[in-house]
């Protein structure tokens, strides 16, 4: 007779077996649902989005956020969901009295993906989402709705029928932050003690902190953050511009601020040149960037791609990046040695100088005498964690005794910013005691403003005495 204890052990094992391992460094998360390829290539029907199971036939993809629940409170008080050509409220039947499509024909496709060891989560929001909460109570009620419709709860209006998804992804790009922390807390509470793990992820844009999700991810623990490194100055296209690339800021947030210190940070990337406005990189470029981040920051968890249809049409971009991540190692992190000289408080550093400080190696974005800090707007960018004490000789450019007047260039040597002038990338202006360079074509955007048009290069002095002291000016 089959021993009862063995039966229990094996059924527990079966219930918990999950090829997806959140703590790994080689995970590939790929959004599915929006048929991005079809949106960019309306006549290319052969490349249109296929059923979700199509993307689960090999080991390239580990996690699939299904995009999107794009309206929280629709007809009949239920959310609505649009999966483009696969299932939507216009072409497919909706549950009576609601705008929620009955996509239960997809249940077996989803369960197939899960049986292949992948996690399938429901993504809320999207760029055009009609989302948001008025208060925490509304958010908690909505958490119960999402639990009942997609996760471990029960309802007569489950869009994927009996399929039980593996968690929730928040891709909130408008509507503010109100209620999301309460929403996450309620999902965690509903899923505590469940027979399988549920994952909660967020997809903020790369500028730190994110407008909508910034305060949310500070308040409650997430399992992974899929940072969108595209359509922004901090995107992959500026990976080589140390002042722009801010993965280090996200890593510091993970270890110093996140309520879940084991949260994983993913490099989110467009899966083809037509998948985003900016940020697309060749597969070899993305592989280099991702494996460099993997070796530099312990919070790195893998790569997120937008989206499955684009990746498959683009020469299996998903498989390309998976192979690179696997080659770099699924587990284990070796802290690089602090090879840059130790930071010397009060010293002046020219742009490009590297120092070791507080467990990180940093590079000066431009001339600075500030202390490296985790602030994303600081003068230094963290380029890697590091361990040990550097024995390298300090390379600061002057002693702490030097005054800011002698270490600045003169504003008068740089044309003052004019609100009526047109500037193109690289143009320099002085404004309010600082020198700025234009990031791209711009007109009538104040250099110190939030338009993103300008980067502060250094401070400058308005006294004529400082004119000759220009040796610290970097350009």
Ligand X SMILES: *[C@@H]1O[C@H](CO)[C@@H](O)[C@H](O)[C@H]1NC(C)=O
CB of 53 to ligand X, least distance (A): 12
Active-site pick, 111, 138, 173, 186: 173
Which one, 94 or 191, has the nearer CB to ligand X?
A: 94
281 binds ligand X (CB under 6 A): yes
Q: Which stretch binds ligand X (CB under 6 A): 123-131, 224-232, 277-285, 311-319?
A: 277-285
Distance CA 475, CA 473 (A): 6
Using CB under 6 A as the binding rule, the residues of this chain from 397 to 456 that contact ligand X are none
Binding track, positions 82-121, relative to ligand X; x by CB under 6 A: ----xx---xx--x------xxxxx---------------
Distance CA 308, CA 317 (A): 9
Q: 6: how many CB neighbours lie within 10 A of its CB?
A: 9
CB of 70 to ligand X, least distance (A): 16
SS3 463: coil
Q: Which residue among 299, 347, 374, 396 contacts ligand X (CB under 6 A)?
A: 374
Please identify which residue in the block is written with the tokens 């990746």: 311
282 binds ligand X (CB under 6 A): yes
CB of 282 to ligand X, least distance (A): 4
CB of 390 to ligand X, least distance (A): 23
Which one, 95 or 366, has the nearer CB to ligand X?
A: 95
144 binds ligand X (CB under 6 A): no
Angle between helical axes of 317-328 and 283-296 (0-180°, round to 10): 30
CB of 52 to ligand X, least distance (A): 10
DSSP for 384-439, please give it: EE-BS---SPP--SB-TT--HHHHSEEGGGSPBP-TT-EE-TT-EEEETTEEEEES
Q: Which stretch binds ligand X (CB under 6 A): 147-155, 281-289, 292-300, 416-424?
A: 281-289
Q: Which residue among 376, 402, 412, 445 contacts ligand X (CB under 6 A)?
A: 376
Strand 428-431 relative to strand 422-423: parallel, antiparallel, unpaired? Answer: unpaired
315 binds ligand X (CB under 6 A): no
Q: What are the φ and ψ backbone dihedral angles of 214, each rounded to 5 degrees?
A: -50, -55
Using CB under 6 A as the binding rule, the residues of this chain from 190 to 219 that contact ligand X are 208
45 binds ligand X (CB under 6 A): no
Structure tokens at 412: 């008068």
Distance CA 284, CA 147 (A): 40
| Cβ pair 64, 30 in contact under 8 A | yes
Q: What are the φ and ψ backbone dihedral angles of 46, each rounded to 5 degrees?
A: -60, -25
Q: Which residue among 34, 177, 249, 439 contacts ligand X (CB under 6 A)?
A: 249
Q: What is the largest CA-CA distance in the chain?
A: 96
Is 186 among the residues known to form the active site?
no
SS3 186: helix
CB of 391 to ligand X, least distance (A): 28
| Region label for 161, one of left (φ > 0), alpha (ψ between -120 and 50) or beta (otherwise) | left
Size of the site for ligand X (CB under 6 A): 23
Distance CA 379, CA 365 (A): 6
Structure tokens at 350: 């020219």
Distance CA 214, CA 411 (A): 36
Structure tokens at 421: 């002038």
Closest listed residue to residue 452, CA positions, set 281, 238, 151: 238
Which one, 31 or 253, has the nearer CB to ligand X?
A: 253
Which one, 39 or 469, has the nearer CB to ligand X?
A: 39
Binding track, positions 150-189, relative to ligand X; x by CB under 6 A: ------x---------------------------------
Residues of this chain that interact with ligand X (CB under 6 A) are 86-87, 91-92, 95, 102-106, 156, 208, 240, 249, 252-253, 256-257, 281-282, 285, 374, 376
**Which residues are annotated as catalytic?**
173
């Amino acid at each position: 007779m089959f021993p009862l204890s063995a039966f229990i052990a094996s059924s527990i094992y079966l219930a918990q077996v999950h090829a997806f391992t959140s703590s790994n460094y080689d995970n590939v998360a790929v959004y599915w649902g929006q048929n991005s390829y079809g949106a960019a290539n309306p006549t290319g029907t052969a490349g249109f989005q296929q059923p979700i199971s199509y993307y689960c036939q090999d080991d390239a993809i580990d996690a699939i956020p299904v995009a999107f629940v794009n309206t929280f409170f629709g007809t009949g008080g239920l959310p609505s969901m649009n999966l483009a050509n696969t299932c939507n409220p216009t072409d497919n039947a909706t549950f009576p009295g609601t705008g929620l499509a009955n996509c239960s024909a997809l249940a077996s496709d989803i369960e197939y993906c899960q049986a292949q060891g992948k996690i399938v989560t429901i993504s809320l929001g999207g760029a055009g989402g009609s989302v948001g909460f008025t208060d925490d109570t509304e958010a908690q009620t909505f958490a119960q709705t999402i639990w009942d419709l997609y996760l471990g709860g029960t309802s007569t209006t489950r869009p994927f029928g009996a399929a039980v998804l593996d968690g929730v992804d928040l891709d909130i790009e408008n509507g503010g932050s109100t209620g999301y922390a309460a929403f996450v807390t309620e999902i965690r509470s509903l899923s505590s003690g469940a027979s399988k793990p549920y994952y909660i992820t967020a997809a903020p844009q790369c500028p730190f902190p994110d407008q909508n999700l910034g305060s949310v991810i500070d308040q409650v623990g997430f399992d992974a953050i899929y940072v969108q490194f595209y359509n922004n100055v901090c995107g992959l296209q500026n990976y080589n511009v140390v002042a722009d690339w801010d993965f280090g800021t996200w890593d510091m947030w993970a270890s110093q601020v996140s309520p879940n210190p084991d949260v994983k940070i993913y490099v989110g990337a467009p899966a083809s040149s037509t998948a985003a406005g900016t940020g697309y990189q060749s597969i070899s470029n993305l592989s280099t960037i991702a494996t460099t981040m993997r070796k530099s920051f312990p919070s790195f968890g893998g790569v997120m791609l937008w989206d499955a249809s684009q990746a498959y049409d683009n020469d299996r971009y998903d498989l390309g990046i998976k192979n690179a991540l696997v080659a770099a190692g699924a587990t284990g992190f070796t802290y690089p040695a602090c090879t840059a000289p130790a930071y010397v408080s009060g010293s002046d550093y020219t742009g490009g100088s590297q120092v070791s400080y507080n467990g990180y190696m940093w590079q000066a974005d431009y001339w600075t005498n500030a202390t490296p800090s985790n602030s994303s707007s600081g003068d230094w960018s963290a380029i890697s964690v590091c361990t040990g004490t550097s024995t390298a000789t300090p390379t600061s450019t002057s002693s702490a005794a030097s005054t800011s007047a002698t270490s600045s260039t003169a504003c008068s040597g740089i044309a003052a910013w004019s609100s009526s002038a047109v500037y193109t990338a690289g143009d320099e202006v002085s404004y309010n005691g600082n020198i700025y360079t234009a990031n791209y074509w711009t007109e009538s955007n104040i250099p110190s403003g939030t338009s993103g048009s300008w980067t502060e290069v250094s401070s400058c002095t308005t006294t004529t005495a400082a004119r000759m002291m220009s040796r610290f000016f970097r350009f």
